Amino acid sequence: MDRRTFLGAASAALLTDALSPAAAFAAPAPLKPMDVGLLVSPFSAPEATFKRVHDMGFNNCFLSLDGYLNGFTQEIANQFGDLLSKYSLVATTVEVVGPPPLEWNFLRGPSTIGLVPPRTRAARIDALRQVSDFAKLLNISQVQTHCGFIPEDPADPLYPGAVEAVRTVARHCQSNGQYFLMETGQETPTAMSRMIRDVAMPNLAVGLDTANLILYGKANPVDAVDIIGPHVRSVHAKDGRWPTDPSQLGEEVLIGKGLVDFKQVLTKLHRLGYAGAVTIERETSGPQQIEDVRQEKVYLEKILRNVLA
């Protein structure tokens, strides 16, 4: 499982009757509010990936699909749909952040991440259109990405182009009956709120990554919910610590070992009416990742029992 694995979930309330190519797939049981899910990247070993999600006790997943552009075929959609049905999984959201270059740091990040850098903007828009069309084949109603270091100054020369790029992708997603979600991280909550206002598309929303706000030194996630909470339609449950090296992001850590107050964040979202998945994203790998995810699932479900009581 790599860093950007997607959990995609079908939302019949949003999708139109035109979104029917995957209608033959048996529908899994509907998700309950704030069901815990897992972020996965399924292309290299689809059946093993979806089976692992099921065997670990999850009923939903978020699909990270970078590295497979131009491979989003009806055949692959049929395979994924059959496997999701076989393992009784709902795919909540899909995401791409590429194509490269991408550098997850403060030195080259501003010029390589998201839709803000002009040099890679057209390729990123094309990638997001592709994944949106693929998600439509699976009746997945949310497409997510990092938009990048959105300028704090709306008079910044990069800002108008970024606004138009986000609007372009949002319009494409709207034509497919989908929300387009901006994942938190490189920008302050205020800059993201301003982008939502200026793009002015009803299907533009937020994917809240609880740790990224801390890892990038942008905000405390508890406070961020006061600003962007009403726009949140997906949650990446992840923990971390503030950056201490001004060139590098902060450290991602096991949920419960970092600075995210999950009880407060989830309580605030619940009060705002958030009913989507709470998706674990753990950026380790191999057996350690599986053990970490098991612990994080127990930790989050204990909190959620109190939040939802």
What type of residue is 64? S
**pLDDT for position 68:** 75
The strand pair at 60-64 and 142-145 is best described as: unpaired
C-alpha angle with apex 10: 35 to 266, nearest 5 degrees?
30
Domain encompassing residue 86: 36-307
Residue 261: inside a domain: yes
Question: Which residue pairs from 100-108 have beta carbons closer than 8 angstroms and sit at least 24 positions apart in sequence?
Answer: 104/249, 105/247, 105/248, 105/249, 106/243, 106/246, 106/247, 106/248, 106/249, 107/247
What type of residue is 304? L
d(C-alpha 84, C-alpha 61), whole Å = 9
Question: E-strand spans in 73-156?
Answer: 90-95, 142-145
- In order of 46, 265, 293, the CA distances from 257 in angstroms are 31, 16, 13
234 pairs with which residues across the strands? 207
Residue 51: inside a domain: yes
**pLDDT for position 3:** 38
Q: What is the domain count for the chain?
A: 1
- Are 238 and 211 contacting, i.e. CB atoms less than 8 angstroms apart? yes
Residue 7: inside a domain: no
Residue 44: inside a domain: yes
Residue 27: inside a domain: no
Nearest partner of 27 among 76, 60, 75, judged by Cα: 60
We report the CATH number of the domain holding residue 123 as: 3.20.20.150
139: region left, alpha or beta (phi > 0 left; psi from -120 to 50 alpha): left
- Length in residues, the chain: 309
d(C-alpha 238, C-alpha 235), whole Å = 9
- In order of 103, 122, 144, 181, 237, the CA distances from 173 in angstroms are 26, 16, 10, 10, 24
**pLDDT for position 27:** 61
What is the residue-level pLDDT of the chain in tens, covering all 309 positions?
333 332 233 232 333 333 333 434 456 678 999 999 999 999 889 999 999 999 999 999 999 999 777 789 999 999 999 999 999 999 999 999 999 999 999 999 999 999 999 999 999 999 999 999 999 999 999 999 999 999 999 999 999 999 999 999 999 999 999 999 999 999 999 999 999 999 999 999 999 999 999 999 999 999 999 999 999 999 999 999 999 999 999 999 999 999 999 999 999 999 999 999 999 999 988 899 999 999 999 999 999 999 999
Farthest-apart Cα atoms in the chain, separation: 51
Residue 25: inside a domain: no
Give helix 118-137 / helix 74-86 axis angle, nearest 10°. 60
Residue 24: inside a domain: no
d(C-alpha 164, C-alpha 98), whole Å = 18
